[in-house]
Amino acid sequence: MKRIAIDMDEVIADLFTSQLTMFNNDYKENISPEDIMGKKLRHHRPDLTEELSNYLKQPTFFRDLEVIEDSQEVIKELSKHYEIFITTAAMEYPTSFTEKYEWLKKHFPFLNDMNFVFCGDKSIIHADYLIDDNVRHFKGFSGQGVLYTANHNINEIGYDRVNNWQEVKDYFSKRVK
pTM as predicted: 0.95
**83 in the same domain as 27:** no
The answer to whether residues 76 and 109 belong to one domain is yes
Q: Are 129 and 146 in contact (CB under 8 A)?
A: yes
Which one of 7, 14, 132, 133 is the catalytic residue? Answer: 7
9 noted as active-site residue: yes
Let me know whether 126 and 105 are in one domain. Answer: yes
Shared domain for 72 and 132, answered yes or no, is yes
Looking at the predicted structure, is the pLDDT value of residue 91 above 90? no
Q: Are 56 and 62 in contact (CB under 8 A)?
A: yes
Q: Say whether 35 is catalytic.
A: no
Same domain, 29 and 114: no
CB-CB neighbours of 1 under 10 Å: 10
Distance CA 53, CA 158 (A): 29
**What pLDDT digit, counting tens, does each position of 71-88 carry?**
999 999 999 999 999 999
Tens of pLDDT, residue by residue over 118-169, are: 998 999 999 999 999 999 999 999 999 999 999 999 999 999 999 999 999 9
Q: Could you say which DSSP state residue 155 is in?
A: T
In a shared domain, residues 105 and 164 = yes
Choice among 9, 14, 132, 133 that is catalytic: 9
Query: What CATH number is associated with residue 140?
Result: 3.40.50.1000
